[in-house]
């Protein structure tokens, strides 16, 4: 199926999906974690300006330019805070462009039906959401599609994930829900940039690397995420361009792309 997941190697080895996963310490109360630890923080500075991200028309529009990446705000019916705010989305695109110079468009939000939620924890089943996003936009001319939600996400047998991606493939889905914990606006933005570039990197064909300077290093906690590389390394860019020579001049190490 071309998908695989980040996972503890001792867990469900048969899976083929790829993702950045954090398995939480058992016993930490989920409710306490989702309480008010900065969840409502917004970006303090930096009005997004000059962004190459436009609002798409309603519904699955059709891409008209090469290397179109559609950013799909992904919510759940009846969950008022499940869609990331505009400031989050525009900052995210600005940060992605430092590493991947594609043509980003922010779509109108999509609200998934409540059957996408787990019965007991109310988290979004990101494997189902990934399938939905992939099918919805397949054949529409988009080079990549990234669903981004403020709903917590998970797959069966896990406590939660940060994201899930096809590798390589059309789609990935990322959650920003946990990234505000114990974080000021700057750290939250950095985490979002890190996760979204990591998952986009998977869709472009990159696997995990042991190089902790790279954004493609595997992390299974927020602490590891914060300690990991924030950008592609020269090696990551080499791998991407070796696989797709047309990426030359479009993917950048150390965040040195046009978004810088």
CA 118 to mean position of chain CA atoms: 20
Stretch that binds Zn ion, among 2-10, 107-115, 153-161, 239-247 (CB under 5 A): 2-10
- 105 vs 194, which CB is nearer to Zn ion? 194
CA–CA distance, 209 with 226 (Å, rounded to integer): 16
Residues whose CB is less than 8 angstroms from the CB of residue 119 and which lie 6 or more positions away in sequence, other chains included: none
For residue 75, give Cα distances in angstroms to 52, 111, 149, 153, 163: 23, 4, 6, 11, 15
Q: Does 20 bind Zn ion (CB under 5 A)?
A: yes
For residue 29, give Cα distances in angstroms to 4, 24, 26, 35, 138: 28, 10, 8, 10, 38
**CA proximity to 259, closest of 89, 65, 49, 43:** 49
- 90 vs 99, which CB is nearer to Zn ion? 99
Is residue 199 annotated as a catalytic residue, yes or no? Answer: yes
Q: How far is the CB of 149 from Zn ion (least distance, A)?
A: 17
Q: Which of residues 130-189 bind Zn ion (CB under 5 A)?
A: none
Stretch that binds Zn ion, among 12-20, 86-94, 149-157, 227-235 (CB under 5 A): 12-20
Q: How far is the CB of 40 from Zn ion (least distance, A)?
A: 28
- 6 vs 103, which CB is nearer to Zn ion? 6
Query: For Zn ion, how many residues bind (rule: CB under 5 A)?
Result: 2
Q: Which residues bind Zn ion (CB under 5 A)?
A: 6, 20
Which of the residues are catalytic? Answer: 199
């Amino acid at each position: 199926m071309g998908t695989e997941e980040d996972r503890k190697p001792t867990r469900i080895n048969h899976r083929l999906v790829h993702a950045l996963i954090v398995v939480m310490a058992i016993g930490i109360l989920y409710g306490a974690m989702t309480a008010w630890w900065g969840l409502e923080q917004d970006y303090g500075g930096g009005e997004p300006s000059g962004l190459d991200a436009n609002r798409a028309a309603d519904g699955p529009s059709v891409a008209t330019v090469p290397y179109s990446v559609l950013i799909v705000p992904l919510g759940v019916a009846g969950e008022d805070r499940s869609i990331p705010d505009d400031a989050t989305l525009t900052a995210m695109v600005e940060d992605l462009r430092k590493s991947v110079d594609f043509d980003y468009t922010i779509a109108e939000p999509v609200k998934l039906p409540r059957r996408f939620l787990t019965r007991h924890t109310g988290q979004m089943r990101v494997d189902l959401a990934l399938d939905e996003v992939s099918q919805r936009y397949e054949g529409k001319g988009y080079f990549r599609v990234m669903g981004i939600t403020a709903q917590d996400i998970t797959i069966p047998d896990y406590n939660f994930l940060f994201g899930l991606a096809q590798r390589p493939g059309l789609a990935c889905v990322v959650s920003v829900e946990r990234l505000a914990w114990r974080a000021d606006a700057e750290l939250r933005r950095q985490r979002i940039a890190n996760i979204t570039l990591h998952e986009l990197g998977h869709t472009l064909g990159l696997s995990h690397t042991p190089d902790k300077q790279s954004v493609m290093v595997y992390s299974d906690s927020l602490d590891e995420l914060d300690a990991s590389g924030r950008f592609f390394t020269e090696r990551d860019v080499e791998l991407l361009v070796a696989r797709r020579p047309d990426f030359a001049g479009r993917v950048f190490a150390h965040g040195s792309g046009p978004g810088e």
